[in-house]
Chains A and B, each alone.
Chain A
Amino acid sequence: MKKNKDKEGWRNLEQWHIFLAFIRVGMLGYGGGPSSIPLVQKEVVEKYKWMNDEEFANVLALGNSLPGPIATKMAGYIGYRVAGILGMFNAVLAVSVPTILIMISLLTFLSAANNQPWVNGMTQAVVPVVGVMLAVLTYEFLKKAQGGLGWLTTTILVVISLVLIKWLGIHPGIIITSLLLYALLKPTTKKEVES
C-alpha cells in the first residue's frame, strides 16, 4: 500500500518537473520555436537528465526533418517518453498555454504595447544571448561528431551540409533523411560495428 503511494508521489513529481521544465522553455524562448532548442537541451539533458546528448540529437534531427512547430514537437515527444500520454499533454500545454494567454490578454486589452520602445529593446537585447546559446550547442555537436566520425568525415559533412543548406537553399529535412537512408541501406562491415 505504502509502496503504491510512493510510486504515485514519484509520478506526480515527474509530471511537476515536466511542467516546470517546459513552462520555463516557453516563457524564455524569445524568437519562436528554434530559439527554444538550447533551452530544451538545458532542461532535458543537463537539469533533469531525461535523455543523454545522443538521444537529444536524435530528437532534434527527426524533429527538424518533420513538418510542424519544433518546440511543441520536442515538448510532446519528451513529455510522452518521460511520463506517457499525460506527460505529453502536460508538456505541450506548459510550453504553449502561458504565452497564448499573455498574447490574448495583451492584444485584447493593450494592443499598443508592441509599439512601445522598451518592448522593442527587450527583444533586441535577448537576440545575441540566444545566438551565443546556439553557438555553444553548435560547438558541442561538432566536438561530438569529431569524436565519433573523425576530423575528415566531419569536415566533409559540415562543408557539404553548409553549402546545401545555406547557399543552395535545400531543406535540412531532405539532407537528414538522405543521410539516414544512406546509413540504413549501406551494408555495415564488421570493423564499423566494433568501432
Chain B
Amino acid sequence: MSIYWEIFIAFFIPGIVGYGGGPASIPLVENEVVDRFGWMSVQDFSEMLAMANALPGPIATKMAGYIGFEQGGVLGSFIGVLAVVTPSLILIIALLGLLMKYKDSPKVKKMTMLIRPTIAVLLGVMAFNFFQTAYIDSGAGQMIGIAVISLILMERFRVHPAFVILGSLVYGALFLG
C-alpha cells in the first residue's frame, strides 16, 4: 500500500469521526499515527502536540500537515490536509446551501431561532474552559488582570482583537515565561 494512501486514511478517519472541532480529533490522530501505522512513538507524538499547541492556527490541519510532510514530503503534507478537511467541508457546503435556499421559510427561521441558546451555551462553556485553563496555568491575578484589560480594550475602545492578542503574546513572553 502506498504511503500516500496511508496518509490519506490516517487523516480521513479523524476528519469524519472527530466531533467537536480540531481538539476532539487529537486522540483519533494519535490512534492512527502511533498505534495503527507506527509512524511516531507516544513520546514523539506528545512533543509534536506540545509544539502544535504553542503555535497559532487550527490544530487538526497543523498535525495533518506536519505528519504528512514527515512521511511523504510536500505531497504527503498536501494529502494529509486534504483528507482531514474535505469530507466535512463538502457536507457543510451542501447542508448550508439547502438551508440558505429556504432561509425565508418560517420553519427555517424557527430553526435558526431555536438553536441560539444552545450555541450560547456552547460558547459559554468554551469561555469557561479557557478561563479555567488560565486560572490553573497562571493564577487568578494574571487571569483576571489580562481578561479585564482585554475586555476594556476590545469592547470599550474597539481595539481590533489582533492587536490585543499580539499585546498579550508580548506580555506573556516577557512576564509569564
Decide whether A and B assemble into one complex.
yes
> B59 touches which one: A32, A113, A117 (CB < 8 A)?
A32
**Interface size of A by Cβ–Cβ distance < 8 Å?**
105
Asked whether any CB of chain A lies closer than 8 Å to the CB of B165, the reply is yes
List the B side residues contacting A71 at CB < 8 Å: 21-22, 57-58, 61
- Contact present for A138 and B123 (CB under 8 Å): yes
A184–B59 Cα gap in the complex (Å)? 34
> A182 touches which one: B15, B61, B114 (CB < 8 A)?
B114
> A32 touches which one: B22, B142, B150, B169 (CB < 8 A)?
B22
Asked, given contacts A36-B58, A69-B18, whether A176 binds B85 with beta carbons under 8 Å apart, the answer is no
Asked, given contacts A32-B21, A149-B116, whether A68 binds B84 with beta carbons under 8 Å apart, the answer is yes
List the A side residues contacting B58 at CB < 8 Å: 26, 29, 32-33, 36, 69-72, 95-96, 99
- Contact present for B51 and A114 (CB under 8 Å): yes
1/0 per position for A126-164, CB-CB distance to B under 8 A?
A: 111111111111100110110011000110011001100
Number of A-B contacts (CB under 8 A): 360
Segment 85-106 of A: residues with Cβ below 8 Å from B: 88, 92, 95-100, 102-104, 106
- Contact present for B89 and A67 (CB under 8 Å): no
**Interface size of B by Cβ–Cβ distance < 8 Å?**
94
A137–B47 Cα gap in the complex (Å)? 33
> Smallest CB–CB gap between B106 and chain A, Å?
5
- Contact present for A125 and B57 (CB under 8 Å): no
List the A side residues contacting B50 at CB < 8 Å: 114
> B92 touches which one: A30, A62, A126 (CB < 8 A)?
A62
Chain A interface helix/strand/loop/mixed = helix
List the B side residues contacting A64 at CB < 8 Å: 20-21, 119, 122
A118–B171 Cα gap in the complex (Å)? 10
> A162 touches which one: B23, B121, B150, B162 (CB < 8 A)?
B121
- Contact present for B107 and A68 (CB under 8 Å): no
- Contact present for A37 and B123 (CB under 8 Å): yes
- Contact present for A183 and B169 (CB under 8 Å): no
Asked whether any CB of chain B lies closer than 8 Å to the CB of A11, the reply is no
- Contact present for A99 and B55 (CB under 8 Å): yes
List the A side residues contacting B15 at CB < 8 Å: 67-69
> A114 touches which one: B16, B47, B125 (CB < 8 A)?
B47
Asked whether any CB of chain B lies closer than 8 Å to the CB of A39, the reply is yes
- Contact present for A62 and B99 (CB under 8 Å): yes
A172–B128 Cα gap in the complex (Å)? 16
Asked whether any CB of chain A lies closer than 8 Å to the CB of B8, the reply is no
Most chain B Cβ neighbours within 10 Å, of A54, A102, A114, A192 = A114
1/0 per position for A39-51, CB-CB distance to B under 8 A?
A: 1001000000000
> A117 touches which one: B103, B112, B166, B177 (CB < 8 A)?
B177
- Contact present for A128 and B117 (CB under 8 Å): no
> Smallest CB–CB gap between B27 and chain A, Å?
14
- Contact present for B123 and A141 (CB under 8 Å): yes
A94–B57 Cα gap in the complex (Å)? 10
- Contact present for A57 and B112 (CB under 8 Å): yes
1/0 per position for B115-143, CB-CB distance to A under 8 A?
A: 11111111111111011011001100011
- Contact present for A61 and B119 (CB under 8 Å): yes
Q: What are 5 A-B pairs at a CB distance below 8 A?
A: A68-B91, A69-B21, A137-B123, A142-B120, A192-B110
8 more contacts with CB within 8 A, not counting A77-B96, A141-B116, A158-B121, are A62-B92, A68-B16, A70-B22, A71-B57, A72-B58, A131-B127, A171-B20, A176-B115
